[in-house]
Amino acid sequence: MINFNYETDFKLDSEEQISKWITDAIASEEYKLEEINYVFCDDEYLYKLNVEFLKHDTLTDIISFDYSVGKIIQGDIFISVERVADNAKDFGVSLEKELHRVIIHGVLHYCGYKDKTDDDAKQMREKENYYLSLLD
């Protein structure tokens, strides 16, 4: 099950379509979806979480808490819509496209993909692009 929660004025246009896309991506990676809670918020909300739980004194676009066990996906994904909008401008893409990238990025972490090294980041970006192409 995928739940979408809103702590800001933002709301996704197509929750059903995005839920199916996420579920299909998880199945394609040979994982099983238990539950993902997406929380869309602002910079201030996510900054507080970043400081409190991760001890990072910085703004970020996404924080994910992974409660998965083996191949069973469970977690909470917090996304700052403000930060995503700023990043979309910086990268010259639409808010929707950048938001979809961040949404699938969190899921890919749950599926075992990392992004700390250059090689890992490259593989993560390739997977993001692949799943984004399925949504477009």
User: Could you report the average pLDDT of every consecutive run of 10 residues in the chain (136 residues)?
Assistant: 95 94 97 97 94 87 94 97 96 95 96 93 95 90
Give the separation between CA 43 and CA 80, rounded to whole angstroms. Answer: 5
Nearest Cα to Cα of residue 38 among 57, 20, 59, 65: 65
Nearest Cα to Cα of residue 127 among 99, 96, 101, 88: 101
Locate 33 and state its tokens.
Answer: 């979806």
Give the separation between CA 122 and CA 62, rounded to whole angstroms. Answer: 18
Detail the DSSP E strand segments found in 42-90. 62-66, 72-80
- Fill in the amino acid letter for 19: S
pLDDT of residue 55: 87
Locate 76 and state its tokens.
Answer: 């909470």
Give the separation between CA 61 and CA 47, rounded to whole angstroms. Answer: 9
pLDDT of residue 58: 86
Say which DSSP state 112 is in: T
